[in-house]
């Protein structure tokens, strides 16, 4: 892991990570399982899924996340996020 790792969404068993050092998005299980590289759109879709089911949090306004934030908010047009 690098110091440039930012958690943009989280649930009890998974985190959506942006690694600023390499500019890549990851789904990272909590525990010893390996992380999976994903597109920003896939990361946002997973985060929206967490919100839709009420099982996670999305952290808006973090470094490297403007497109991610935009994609998640688009899914929830009309909601106060």
Other beta carbons within 10 angstroms of residue 33's beta carbon come to 10
Domain residue ranges of the chain, discontinuous segments joined by +: 5-75
Confirm whether pTM is higher than 0.85: yes
Contact 58, 81 (CB under 8 A): yes
Query: Is 17 in contact with 65 (CB distance < 8 Å)?
Result: no
Per-residue pLDDT of the chain (81 residues; tens, 9 = 90+): 447 899 999 999 999 999 999 999 999 999 999 999 999 999 999 999 999 889 999 999 999 999 999 999 998 654 555
Q: Using CA atoms, how far apart are residues 16 and 57, in angstroms rounded to an integer?
A: 10
């Amino acid at each position: 892991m690098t110091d440039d790792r930012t958690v943009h969404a989280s649930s009890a068993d998974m985190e959506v990570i942006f690694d600023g050092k390499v500019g890549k998005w990851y789904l990272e299980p909590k525990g010893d399982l390996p992380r999976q590289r994903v597109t920003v759109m896939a990361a946002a879709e997973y985060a929206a899924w967490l919100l839709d089911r009420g099982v996670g949090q999305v952290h808006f306004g973090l470094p490297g996340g403007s497109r991610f934030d935009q994609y998640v908010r688009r899914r929830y047009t009309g909601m106060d996020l």
